Amino acid sequence: DAMVIQNPRYQVTQFGKPVTLSCSQTLNHNVMYWYQQKSSQAPKLLFHYYDKDFNNEADTPDNFQSRRPNTSFCFLDIRSPGLGDAAMYLCATSRDKGYGNEQFFGPGTRLTVL
Amino acid sequence: RKEVEQDPGPFNVPEGATVAFNCTYSNSASQSFFWYRQDCRKEPKLLMSVYSSGNEDGRFTAQLNRASQYISLLIRDSKLSDSATYLCVVRNTGGFKTIFGAGTRLFVKA
């Protein structure tokens, strides 16, 4: 089945120790998104790739970076995780932009910062 | 004011009840609207898109009121399995900026 896959599902890191989260998709969608969701809050868009074009949200901290080496894969790098970065990180894809084009989410990676 | 606002609930309803959620959005240029469902500690899953003419999928009906800038979700004949958080999602013109509401929690009890 076509899907969005995230690895690992659970990640524990130490304060200040870089961590990379992985997302892959078999949907062949053009757009890939990264969201941060904290407990009882709405998912918050960090950035997205439209094909190879990277688009950062204005309020996304510099501590968060992303790479998309090919259509299928997208990575989220947290350079120096703080305690406030503990959250669920959700990857999503959509076929394109514009009307309709709903987003499909991966199962998420739950990040714990010690 | 938040761009997308929802009543956080929780809504506690018995099985078989009809329940309605509303969601308001502030950007009149918003283009696309969706309802997602999110179970505890799981990813959001698309429940339905919301069209100007309104749309229905089984027990679920979604409506859009552009003049008043709100969308609604009606669930008829509630099931225990409907217990979840329902997220209202709005996408602006241009198609990328997606704003999620904080969600409305629903508990359906036997």
Question: Higher pLDDT residue, B8 or B15?
Answer: B15
Q: How far is B42 from chain A (nearest CA, A)?
A: 6
Chain B environment of A110 (Cβ under 8 Å): 41
Residue A96: predicted pLDDT: 87
Q: Using CB atoms, pick whichever of A55, A100, A106 lies closest to residue B49.
A: A100
Q: Note whether B95 contacts A48, CB cutoff 8 Å.
A: no
The token pair that represents B18 in the structure block: 């009809």
Query: Residues of A numbered 36-95 whose beta carbons fall under 8 angstroms of chain B's beta carbons: which are they?
Result: 40-45, 48, 50, 55, 88, 90
The chain-wide mean pLDDT, for chain A, equals 93
Q: How far is B37 from chain A (nearest CA, A)?
A: 11
Residue B30: predicted pLDDT: 82
Q: What is the C-alpha separation between A101 and A31, in angstroms, rounded?
A: 10
Residue B84: predicted pLDDT: 97
- Most trustworthy range by pLDDT among A40-44, A76-80, B65-69: A76-80
Q: Note whether B102 contacts A97, CB cutoff 8 Å.
A: no
Q: Using CB atoms, pick whichever of A41, A97, A99 lies closest to residue B102.
A: A41
Q: What is the C-alpha separation between A72 and A81, in angstroms, rounded?
A: 26
Q: What is the mean pLDDT of residues A59-84?
A: 96
Question: Higher pLDDT residue, A73 or A39?
Answer: A73
Q: How far is A112 from chain B (nearest CA, A)?
A: 14
Q: Note whether B94 contacts A97, CB cutoff 8 Å.
A: yes
Q: Is B44 on the interface with A (CB under 8 A)?
A: yes
Output the 3-class SS for chain A: CCCEEEECCEEEECCCCCEEEEEEECCCCCEEEEEEECCCCCCEEEEEEECCEEEECCCCCCCEEEECCCCCEEEEEECCCCHHHCEEEEEEEECCCCCCCCCEECCCEEEEEC
**Residues B91/B29, Cβ–Cβ less than 8 Å:** no
Judged by DSSP in three states, B91 sits in strand
